[in-house]
Amino acid sequence: GHEQLAPGAWLLRGFARDVASTLLADVARVAQVAPFRHLVTPGGYTMSVAMTNCGRIGWTSEARGYRYASSDPGTGRQWPDLPESFADLARRAAEAAGFADFDPDACLINRYVPGARLSLHQDRDENDRTAPIVSVSLGVPAVFQFGGLSRSDKPARYRLEHGDVVVWGGPSRFAYHGVLPVAEGFHPETGNLRINITFRKVF
């Protein structure tokens, strides 16, 4: 079922379940070329979530700020190509939520161990403010916080499970959001990890 969380925000439960194994194999291939690493925020805090990217450009954080870069600062090499399985899923999910012809140029992969979290934030580093963000959850579940356009809006909570996809577009594109510390758990395909893949159109 397609559940509307707010204007422009659609939760597609289980949408990626049947391709999840393929997605995870492709995550592993990406990580062989562009290893996961813990980025440091401009505030000097090392993130508990490990990250890597694929596609034309990737999101990184450094002391001087957040930015999109066409090469991996960790290796100096270009980010790996967007796997076909990723591009196909992103496009189909966007379409199912009413966003035709989604053509992402950036794909951020987040890896959570138990206890890892993402504090409440907005995604504002993308130049294209009309395209949605498509997010795929894999592995152990997490509690997602979905707030409003003001940091002080009390967030709603949603449990996101293996294969769930959320499309954040329209007025929800700039809502505050976060991930509560991931609990100890086990998933047959990821062990104790949660993996989240986000597809974005930056330019």
Q: Using CB under 5 A as the criterion, which residues of the chain lie in contact with Fe ion when the complex forms?
A: 123
Mask for 134-173, x = binds ligand MD5 (CB under 6 A): -x----------x---------------------x---xx
Q: Are 110 and 148 in contact (CB under 8 A)?
A: no
Residue whose C-alpha is closest to residue 26's, from 85, 78, 100: 85
Residue reference for tokens 């993130």: 47
In the complex, least distance from residue 100 CB atom to ligand MD5, rounded to whole angstroms: 19
- Residue 91 in contact with ligand MD5, rule: CB under 6 A: no
**CA atoms of 108 and 199, how far apart (whole Å):** 7
Out of ligand MD5, Fe ion, none, which partner does residue 125 contact, by CB within 5 to 8 A per kind? none
Of positions 177, 182, 187, 190, contacts ligand MD5 by CB under 6 A: 177
Q: Are 167 and 100 in contact (CB under 8 A)?
A: no
In the complex, least distance from residue 164 CB atom to ligand MD5, rounded to whole angstroms: 10
**C-alpha separations of 111 from 6, 31, 54, 128 in Å:** 26, 11, 14, 25
In the complex, least distance from residue 118 CB atom to ligand MD5, rounded to whole angstroms: 6
In the chain, the amino acid numbered 96 is A
- Residue 60 in contact with ligand MD5, rule: CB under 6 A: no
Of positions 53, 196, 199, 201, contacts ligand MD5 by CB under 6 A: 196
C-beta closer to Fe ion: residue 85 or 198? 198
DSSP H or E run through 2: strand 2-6
Out of Fe ion, ligand MD5, none, which partner does residue 12 contact, by CB within 5 to 8 A per kind? none
**CA atoms of 199 and 110, how far apart (whole Å):** 12
In the complex, least distance from residue 133 CB atom to Fe ion, rounded to whole angstroms: 8
User: Hey, how many other C-beta atoms are within 10 angstroms of the C-beta on 11?
Assistant: 20
Out of Fe ion, ligand MD5, none, which partner does residue 196 contact, by CB within 5 to 8 A per kind? ligand MD5
**C-alpha separations of 80 from 34, 94, 146 in Å:** 7, 22, 30
Q: In the complex, which residues of this chain contact ligand MD5 (CB under 6 A)?
A: 108, 110, 118, 123, 133, 135, 146, 168, 172-173, 175, 177, 179, 196, 198
